[in-house]
Structures are given as C-alpha cells and as structure tokens.
Structure 1
Amino acid sequence: MRFSFTLSAGLLAFASFVSASNVIDLDPDNFEKFVGGDRPALVEFYAPWCGHCKSLAPTFEQLGDAFPTDKVVIAKTDADGVGRDLGNKYGVKGFPTLKWFPAGSLEPVDYSSGRDLESLANFVTTQSGVKSKIKPPPPPVATQLDAANFDDIALDDNKNVLVAFTAPWCGHCKNLKPTYEKVAKAFLSEPDCVVAQMDADEAQNKPVAAKYDVRSFPTIKFFPKGSKEPIAYSTGRSEQQFIDFLNEHCGTHRSIGGLLSETAGKVLTLDTLASNFFTASLPERPDVLAKAREYIGTLTGGDKKTNASAEYYVKAMERVLEKGEGWLAKEQARIAGLLASPSLAPTKLDELKIKANILTSFAATKAEEAYEAAEGLYNDAVDAAKQVPQQAKDGIDQFADAVQDKAKKVKEEL
C-alpha cells in the first residue's frame, strides 16, 4: 500500500509539472489581483468553442513562457463563461480579443497586430520594455525593400528582381516565407538575379504597392533587367516552380539547394567539338583543337562566366593531348571529390560544377558509341542463341530424310 501511495503521489506531481502554465486564468474575483497592479498585463478574452481561440492557445502558452512572470502578466479569461462579466465590461464583441493593460491601469489598449509568437512578443516588449526569452530569428535572406530603396534595387537596369509584396498579418505570406527564403538562398551567387520582399502594408510602403496595383497579399511581380514594367508572377509557389521561373527569365542554371544544374557552363558548339575531339583519331585531334580555339576567338562581349567556360573546353583538349585520355577520368574523379566537400565557398562550387559539366561533353559520344557497340554484340549473341535450336532441328530433319531414302532403296532392291 505504501508503494502504491508513493507511486500515485509521484504521478500527480509529474502531472502537475507537465500541466504547469505561465498563462494566468482570470475571473472577476482575481482579475484585479493580477491586472492594474505593478505589472503590465496582456489579457486574452476567449471562448472555449472558438476555433481561432483554439489555434491561438499553443502560441499564447509560448508567450507566457517567454516573459518573466515577475515583470509581465500574460493572462486569459473565458469571456463566454466565468469571465463573461469581464468581457462585457471591456466591450468584447468577438473571440479572441486581446487587450493590453499598462501597469497601474485598468484602462486597456486594444491589440490589433499579428497573432504569431513574434508579433505578440514584439508588442509586449515594445509596451513594457521587457525583453523576451525568444531567440531572435535569423536575418532574412531575401533582399528587404522599402519605399527608400525600392527604385534603386527593383528598377536597376542591370538586375532582374523578383519582388514579393507581403503583409505581416497575412497567413498565406507566412506560409510562403520558408519557401521564398530557400529560393533567395539558392540565388545568392547570382548578383544579377535578386529575390526580394517588401512589407507592402507598412504605411511608408503603401504608395509603392499601390503604384504596382498590389491589391492582395502576397502579390509577386518580376522586374526584368532594363525594364520599368513588371511581369505578374502567376506560376505555382513551390521552390522548384520559383527556381524554374527565375532560370528561364534570368538565364541562370540553378537547382534546389542553390547548386548549378547539369546544363550550367555548357556551350553547344563547343560540346559538339568536344565530342568530335574525343572520338577523333590521335592525328586528327589537333585540328579539332584548332577549331575550338577559332570558335572562342569569335566570342566577343560575352560575360566572364561564359568566356571562362569556353576556355576550359580548350584547356581540357590540351590536357588530353599532353597527358592522354587517362587525364579525363582522373580529373573527373578529382572534381567529384572536391564537390563533395562541405567547406567550399559558393563561387568555388560553381566553378567546379561547370568544369564537371563540360568534361561530360568529351566522354558522352565515346560512351554512346561503346554502348551501341555493346548493344550490337548482345543482339548478335541473342540471334545466335535463337538459331541453335533451329540448327539442331534442321540436322535432325536431314538425318531423318537420309534414313528414309536408304530404307526406300533397300525395299526396292528386295
């Protein structure tokens, strides 16, 4: 019995520990014990049946844990039950209603900002001067626009800019944010392709939003390089769909995660020459190299990345002539090993990925020819195997015919 009592007491203590909350439950009897005293208070007037109240509940619990209870009161009252009189007294007409009571006052200030933890905590800190225990979120990756810098960035003739016009209270904007941040991160190494965001509900930014006919949130528009007129973004909102759109309109080759795709750095004419080089006989290869050099000489006004890619085709041909075909396999293995390193700078990753892509052009035709040759041998073997039973059958038929002929002759002689 003693063991049972001790176990039961332990379970009760554990249950009390688990259910402990820093959000104070208020009713008319204890209201002024916690509100209007030496601590400011944020009070939620809720109803147990209210769906929005149920959605807010876990966030409000986190808010209660975020502030020291000896400095700030985070409280709630069932304004459709025990706190009905309190709700009537303070003019509560819908649920949930949040009101801020400054220290020493029973005259509240209405709370009308967002219901996410960050917005609630910022409000409490601003009103009370008390810092929360919440770790600040990392700075946004997307370029932040406002009325002061919008034209300098979004209308820059040398940049393509994707702008998401958002509002802090907008649920769809909050859902979009993690994906949009990933897209912004994927294009950090593309200085000409900017992924930006603007709080279009901020008072100073509203005229900019109105100028571009922003009527709902989020509204996403693409400002092409050299144009003052944006293109409405109406594609899907997955990470891949954003990336595909930007690759098409910015001329980039990014993939999810920010790495370059398999097409990055490839030059069609040089791809053909690389294939021809690798399949050519040794005496013919210098001629192909000369054609590649000649082609590079025609590239004028190209960007640095394109020119560097073109030069690498020639460099690879020179290395194969100098060191033999074994250099290609060794170089591919070396680059693959470096690409697997987690410590490489983004610019170095891009450089290596482009080289890896270019080197596949040399082996592509060779591999294709080897595959076709192997496929031909396989088909010949299959045909030969199919012919074996037929050949055996033909031999048996020939033997049977010979026996019949011999029997016929013996019969005639008799």
Structure 2
Amino acid sequence: MRCILYLLLWAAVGILVSCEDDPTESLAGVHDLTQADFDKVVTGGKHALVEFYAPWCGHCKHLTPEYKKLGEAVAKDPKLKNSVVIAKVNADDHREIGERFGVRGFPTIKYFGRGKPTSAPEDYNGGRTAEAFLAYLQEKVAADKGFARIGSLDTLARDFLAAADKTGAAAAFKAAAEKLDEAQRAAGLLYGKFAEKAVAKGGDFFKTETARLERLLDSGKVGANKAAEISQKLSVLSAFSPDDEEEDEATKEQLSKAEE
C-alpha cells in the first residue's frame, strides 16, 4: 500500500511539472499567435519578441517558466507594456509561420523592431532567462527613445536652449515644421508647441512636463492610443534635455558592452 501511495504521489508531481512546463500553456502577458492574427499583433508599431516552439521540444518546455516570468514582468511594467509585445507561436501546428521566418529549430526566438519591416526580424541569441530577455528589451527601448525626433529640429532645440531671445528662437520651429513631409509633421509641430510653452512657463517646463507625462505612462491607466501619444511627446521632449547628449553616449556605451 505504501508503495502504491508513493507511486501516486510521484505521478501527481510529474503531472504538475508537465503542466508547468507545457509551452502551449496560456501565459499572462504573452500572446499566443496563429496564422490568422500574427500580422495583427506583430505590426512594427511596437517592439516584439516572439518565440517559435514545438510542443514536444524539451528545450521549449524548459524555457516555458522563464517566458512566463517575462510575460508577467512586462505586464507589470507600464512603460514596457505600452511599447513591447511578448508572443509565442506553435510553429509545429502553424508551420507556414515558421517557414515564413526561416525557423529551422526549436525554440527559435526573434526580435521584431519597432518601426522596422516585420519581414526582416533579428535572431535573438542572448540568454534564455527572464532577466536576460528583459535586459535585451530594455536596451532596445532605451536605444529607441528618440523615435519621434527629427534631426533638423533637434538642432533648433539646442539653439533654443542656448538662445537669449527664447521667443525668437521658438518662432523658428514653425517655419521648419512646415517644410516637413506629412509623416513627420505631427512630431515637428510638437517641437514648436513645447518651445512656446517653455517661453510662457519658464525653463523648468521641459523637466516638469516630462515628469508629468512619465507619471501618466507609469500609472498604467492610459489606453494604447494615449500611451503612444505620450511616448511621442516624451521622445520630442528629450530633444530639449541639456543632458541629452550625455544620455545618448551612456546608452551607446551600454549597448556596446552588451554586444561584446
């Protein structure tokens, strides 16, 4: 009888471990993608990390707890939640997706960059832990902080910060924004809008407005469209930071170390 009880206990433990390591399991913060919805979720509008797995793959099963932790961590971080997609695809059932992205083994993990064609993702070759995934994504998001910025208007932003006549310097943004194409005009107009507010409210405006928008984003209470709008504003505001160049160098150094 005792032997039977031990066998039943170990069988129960085995079932729990098997369920815990099942790559087909629905995970919080992780999208389960199919051929029907892949292009609706991975659009290039956000950074995306996608695991291509097979249910029978031992390494995929081993990865499941870490991917679960990753999904939960991203879901709890408002900034990452609004800028990053974590997803997985059963590439054994949906082989056409695996073939589309050149998947030759399991698990294969690919990174789809924000604003880049989804047809050419990067292979992820880093560590297979939740911490390694998070560090990788945080670096990608940090490097992309200037996504809404425009080089010619960045120059005007530096001139504005150094100008004695702030009113005159602010007026230069309007003429510059009018020369932009339609895709850049919305961001271009933000430069002038922020410069005019700084003239009216004083030099601390950039710092206080950045802090206000970051609090809104961190709250997790804004919808996806509003979060995208806030992210664009924060990106443009970063052009008016006197520490911007130092921050860019620090980011470059961090990325350089990560690549070594």
Higher RCO (CA 8 Å, separation ≥ 6 residues): 2
Which TM-score applies when normalising by structure 2? 0.60
Q: Distance in 2 between matches of 1:340 and 1:213?
A: 37
Residue 181 of structure 1: aligned partner: 71
In structure 2, C-alpha distance between the alignment counterparts of 1:297 and 1:213, rounded to whole Å: 43
Corresponding residue SS for 1:275: helix
| 1:18-167 correspondence runs (5 A) | 24-25=5-6, 57=10, 60-61=12-13, 63=15, 116-117=18-19, 138=27, 141-146=30-35, 149=36, 163-167=50-54
1:198 aligns with 89
Change (3 A) 1:286 1:163: same
Distance in 1, matches of 2:235 and 2:221, equals 21
1:243 to 117, 125, 137: 137
Mapping of residues 388-399 of structure 1, within 5 Å: none
Q: For the Cα contact (< 8 Å) 2:146–2:238, is it kept in 1?
A: no
Report the counterpart of residue 219 of structure 1 in structure 2: 108
CA distance 1:328–1:118, change in 2 (3 Å): closer
Q: Provide the C-alpha distance between the structure 1 equivalents of 2:206 and 2:111, rounded to a whole number of angstroms.
A: 42
Partner residue of 2:180 out of 299, 322, 343: 299
SS across alignment from 1:236: coil
Distance in 2, matches of 1:184 and 1:316, equals 31
Identity across matched positions, percent: 25
Letter in structure 2 aligned against 1:318: E
Structure 1 contact 189–347 (Cα < 8 Å) conserved: no
Letter of the 1:60 counterpart: A
Q: How many aligned positions are there?
A: 229
**What secondary structure, in the 3-state scheme, does the structure 1 residue paired with 2:242 have?**
helix
Shift in Å, 1:314: 0.7
Contact residue 221 and residue 233 of structure 1 kept, 8 A: yes
Structure 2 distance, partners of 1:330, 1:170, is 51
1:220 is paired with a residue whose SS is: strand
- Aligned match of 1:275 in 158, 167, 184? 158
Give yes or no for contact 1:167–1:173 (8 Å, CA) kept in 2.
Answer: yes
Q: Secondary structure at the match of 1:265?
A: coil
Q: Look up the equivalent residue of 2:174 and give its one-letter code.
A: R
Matches within 5 A, 1:362-377: 362-364=240-242
Whole-Å separation in 2 of the counterparts to 1:219 and 1:280: 52
Output the aligned Cα RMSD: 4.8
| Structure 2: stretches of 5+ with no match in the other structure | 247-260
Question: Retained in 2: the 8 A contact 1:166–1:217?
Answer: yes
Question: Which AA in structure 1 matches 2:19?
Answer: L
* Secondary structure of the corresponding residue to residue 148 of structure 2: coil
Does 1:290 pair with 2:171? Answer: yes
Q: Deviations over 1:43-91 (max 9, x none)?
A: 79xxxxxxxxxxxx4x73374xx8xxxxxxxxxxxxxxxxxxxxxxxxx
Provide the rounded CA distance (Å) in 1 between the counterparts of 2:172 and 2:56: 61
Verify the 8 A CA contact 1:143 1:195 in the aligned structure 2: no
Deviation for aligned residue 1:155: 10
Deviations 1:354-402 (A, max 9, x none): 434544543517xx9xxxxxxxxxxxxxxxxxxxxxxxxxxxxxxxxxx
| 1:233-382 equivalent positions in 2, closer than 5 A | 233-237=123-127, 238-240=132-134, 242-243=136-137, 247=140, 254=141, 262-282=145-165, 285-302=166-183, 306-325=184-203, 327-328=205-206, 330-335=208-213, 337-364=215-242
Is the 1:163–1:198 contact (alpha carbons within 8 Å) kept by the matching residues of 2? yes
Contact 1:263–1:357 (8 Å) recurs in 2: yes
Which of structures 1 and 2 has the bigger CA Rg? 1
Q: CA deviation at 1:300?
A: 0.9
Per-residue deviation at 1:236? Answer: 1.3
Q: 1:163 to 1:299 in 2, by over 3 A?
A: same
Separation in 2, partners of 1:326, 1:158: 32
Q: Which deviates the most, 206-215 or 163-172?
A: 206-215
The verdict on how the C-alpha distance between 1:323 and 1:231 changes in structure 2, with shifts beyond 3 A counting, is: closer
Any unmatched runs of 5+ in structure 1? Answer: 1-20, 27-42, 45-56, 67-114, 123-135, 248-253, 369-414
* Larger helix percent: 2
